[in-house]
Amino acid sequence: MKNSAMIEACLACFAACEMCATECIKMISADHLRCIALCRDCAEICALCIKLEQRDSEFSHDVMQLCVESCTACAAECEKFAAHHDHCRECAEVCRKCASECQAA
C-alpha cells in the first residue's frame, strides 16, 4: 500500500461509519439525524480517499483534506452519544484516528 497507516485508518472508518449510520437509523430518533448524515458522508469520503490514494490520484490530497473535515465533524457528533451507544463510541474513535492519519499524510 501507498501509505498504509492512512489507508488502514480510512478502511476502519469506512466500515464503522456504515455500521453507525445504520444503527442510528434504526433508533428512529431526531437526536441522531445529524449523526446519521455525518456517518453517511464520512463513509463515502473515506471510501473515496482509499480509492484515490491507491490510484495515485492527483486529487488524493484534496480528498484527504475533505476527509479530515468530515471525520472531525462526525467524531464530534458521535461523541455526544458515546456513553450510551457502543457503535457511536467506536465510530468516534476511528473517526478521530482517521482525521489524524489523513492530516499527517
User: Cα(69)–Cα(84) distance, rounded to whole angstroms?
Assistant: 25
Q: Does 83 bind a second copy (CB under 8 A)?
A: no
Amino acid at 64: M
Determine the 3-state secondary structure of 59 from DSSP.
coil
Contact 102/67 with Cβ under 8 angstroms? yes
Q: Does 103 bind a second copy (CB under 8 A)?
A: no
Q: Does 86 bind a second copy (CB under 8 A)?
A: no
Our CB check for a second copy shows the closer of 31 and 104 to be 31
Q: Does 44 bind a second copy (CB under 8 A)?
A: yes
**Number of residues lying near a second copy (CB under 8 A):** 42
